Structures are given as structure tokens and as C-alpha cells.
Amino acid sequence: GENVEQHPSTLSVQEGDSAVIKCTYSDSASNYFPWYKQELGKRPQLIIDIRSNVGEKKDQRIAVTLNKTAKHFSLHITETQPEDSAVYFCAASSNSGNTGKLIFGQGTTLQVKP
């Protein structure tokens, strides 16, 4: 079945350093790849997304890259700040059947040390 693998499960960086989280997906029909940030006890919120017709997308300190051939996509956070500390989830969705359902990775707990 559809599967999304996410690595690493935990990541600790110094403030100002960069952080990279990687995901791979199994369904070649996947065409939408969002990233969500979840702070402790709160709901996941979308921080950036990318569609399969684009290889890279950037929004200030956050960027996402997509390699369709390798079925691999990554989140890059530059100049990390303590408020970036949270759990990050990648997800993949296919347009087939118009379900819109998202298959999530296992999550990465990012800790940014001041």
C-alpha cells in the first residue's frame, strides 16, 4: 500500500544552523507533498507544500525540494530559531479517486538549541 518514510526521527541543531528532513514515498501516482508543523499539544499546521510539476519551492527560511524519479522530497530550514522547535510531518497525496487523503510520515522532532 501507500507508504511515506521520514528521517530522521529526532534532530537537534544549534540556533542559526540549517536543518534538513527527508521523506520517501511509494506511490508513483502521488502528486502533492505538504509539510506540517505541530507544536506540543496543538494541531498540525501547513508550512509549505509542493506539487509534482515543480522541483523546488521556497518561502523565506523554508524550502522544499522534490525528486520525482527517486520518489524523494526534503524540507530545508535555514537560520533556525528556537521557535522552529516542533514536530514536523511530511505527507503525500495522490489525485486518483479525488480522495485528497494524505499519507503521513512518522514525524521528526526538531530541537533548536539557543
Q: Which residues bind other proteins (CB under 8 A)?
A: 1, 6, 9, 31-32, 34, 42-46, 49, 51, 89, 91, 93, 95, 98-107
Bridge partners, residue 92, by sequence: 103
3-state secondary structure of 96: helix
For residue 50 the three cell numbers come to 509542493
The grid coordinates of residue 81 equal 530559531
For residues 18 and 95, which CB has a smaller minimum distance to other proteins in the complex? 95
CA pair distance 66, 44, nearest whole angstrom: 21
Least CB distance from residue 89 to other proteins, whole Å? Answer: 6
Rounded Cα gap, residues 71 and 42, in angstroms: 30
Helix (H) or strand (E) holding 65: strand 62-67
Least distance in angstroms from the C-beta of 60 to other proteins: 18
| 28 vs 43, beta carbon nearer other proteins | 43
Measured from the CB atom, the residue of 18 and 45 that comes closer to other proteins is: 45
Please report how close the Cβ of residue 10 comes to other proteins at its closest, in angstroms. 10
Q: By C-beta, is 27 or 32 nearer to other proteins? A: 32
